[in-house]
């Protein structure tokens, strides 16, 4: 399947109300892929939801696969930027992890369709996952890793754990909370789980002197 993105027009056309048509198509694709499933959805379904002709979609994307890849890349660009800004806003590494966890779960919790696409639809293709794991997801994990490494350098976290492995453990915990939230249909806010996840992680990463930075 084709995963490469196409070159985008230098001056994209605008959708009604002044919105960029490419962005409108990606927003519509998020809804359609979540509700119908990526493999069941057609480009025509996305076009209809975006209020454009099917041919217009192909002005911006080479295929349905390209739409999904572009959707992922757009979301991850925003996620990485927000994660970096959130981590840079505070000095304490434990608080950095809290902010990252709140941003992660808050982003998905505010847009259930996006959460379904990320937690379910994207994972049905090994080729998609291979590409994503090698690109922006690695950059996103790097922000988490840097916060953990800072905690280790200050003595707030144990230094005998590889920070890359630890970042994947924390990401995995957040990832599982998001998936459980989708499947359970629970009314609670997804972001409410952020502090609990970080507290448990920090306890496991506490330095030998008992320092953990967890909330009392």
Domains of the chain and CATH, by start? 14-61 (1.10.10.60), 64-204 (1.10.357.10)
Exposed e or buried b for every residue in 160-188, given b needs 16+ CB within 10 A?
eeebeebbeebbebbbebbbebbeeeeee
Residue where the block lists tokens 């434990």: 94
The residue to which tokens 């196409």 are assigned: 6
Q: Is this model's pTM higher than 0.85 or not?
A: no
- Could you report the per-residue pLDDT of 22-55, keeping only the tens digit for each? 999 999 999 999 999 999 999 999 999 999 999 9
pLDDT tens per residue, range 78-95:
999 999 999 999 999 999
What the block records as the tokens of 146 is 């840097």
SS3 of 42, please?
coil
């Amino acid at each position: 399947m084709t995963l490469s993105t196409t070159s985008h027009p230098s001056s994209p056309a605008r959708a009604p109300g002044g919105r960029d048509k490419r962005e409108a198509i990606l927003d519509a694709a998020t809804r359609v892929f979540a509700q119908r499933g990526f493999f069941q959805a057609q480009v025509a379904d996305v076009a209809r939801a975006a209020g454009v002709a099917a041919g217009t979609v192909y002005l911006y994307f080479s295929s349905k696969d390209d739409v999904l890849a572009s959707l992922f890349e757009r979301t991850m660009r925003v996620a990485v930027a927000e994660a970096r800004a959130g981590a840079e806003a505070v000095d304490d590494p434990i608080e950095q992890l809290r902010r990252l966890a709140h941003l992660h779960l808050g982003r998905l919790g505010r847009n259930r369709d996006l959460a379904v696409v990320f937690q379910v639809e994207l994972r049905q293709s090994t080729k998609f996952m291979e590409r994503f794991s090698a690109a922006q997801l690695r950059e996103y994990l790097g922000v988490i890793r840097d916060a953990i490494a800072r905690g280790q350098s200050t003595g707030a976290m144990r230094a005998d754990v590889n920070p890359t492995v630890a970042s994947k453990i924390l990401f995995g915990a957040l990832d599982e909370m998001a998936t459980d939230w989708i499947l359970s249909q629970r009314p609670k806010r997804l972001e409410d789980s952020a502090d609990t996840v970080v507290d448990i992680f920090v306890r496991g990463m506490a330095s030998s002197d008992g320092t953990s930075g967890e909330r009392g």
